Amino acid sequence: DEAKALEQKKLDYEHKILLSAGAARLAKEQYSSTMTNSCCTLCQRRFGTLAEVKSALQRMEQTASAYQKAVTESKYLAKRSQCVSALAELTGRSIHEVTNSKKRGREWNDFELKKGKVLALREQKLQSVKVGSCLSCGFAIEDMRVFLSGVDHLALSMDNDLHVHSRNSKNPRIP
């Protein structure tokens, strides 16, 4: 059925958009935490000077802006919009009705956002190890074991939150 196929495509695009939005949220949270604590949440580096804080915040702000731009200019937004228009035309419903038809609820959205944050954190870890400096703040990683242990602990905490969320969900069969 064409309508079901379009609906599934729409849901797939929404999934990809939410994962990207989760990465953007992680970047914003890292920026906010660094601003408050003068410490990078990724590498746990404490900044001793105002210049270090400004440098880290500038880098984090650029990263957060780039992630947000990727979300707002995503090709998936346009593709989702095309699916919504095609579904509206095919089913005779208004674009508003098709846009707001919730096959998946708020819990699913929250789950996907959190999943996006976890995936982004794991990617930050991988890229940081490759370049030898923290991808979040830009400073060199002084002790790789401490860095990896700290990021693994943070990822495990986020991952546990993700699993608790899925167990508490009304619909445990989240695709």
Among candidate residues 35, 18, 17, the one with its CA nearest the CA of residue 75: 17
- Is pLDDT above 80 for 173? no
- Is pLDDT above 50 for 84? yes
Q: Cα dihedral sign for 96, 98, 103, 109?
A: negative
pLDDT of residue 174: 42
- Is pLDDT above 50 for 127? yes
* DSSP 3-state of 133: strand
Mean pLDDT to the nearest integer, 17-35? 94
Q: Is 11 exposed, middle or buried (0-12, 13-18, 19+ CB in 10 A)?
A: middle
Mean pLDDT to the nearest integer, 17-44? 94
pLDDT of residue 164: 58
pLDDT of residue 166: 52
pLDDT in tens, 45-80: 999 899 999 999 999 999 999 999 999 998 999 999
* CA distance between the termini of the chain: 20
pLDDT of residue 125: 95
Q: What is the mean pLDDT of the chain?
A: 88
pLDDT in tens, 145-164: 999 999 999 999 998 887 65
Q: Sorting pLDDT into bands at 50, 70 and 90, what band is 175? A: very low
**Residues sharing a CB contact under 8 Å with residue 139, sequence separation 6 or more, in sequence order:** 40, 43, 45, 52, 56, 133
Q: Sorting pLDDT into bands at 50, 70 and 90, what band is 105? A: confident
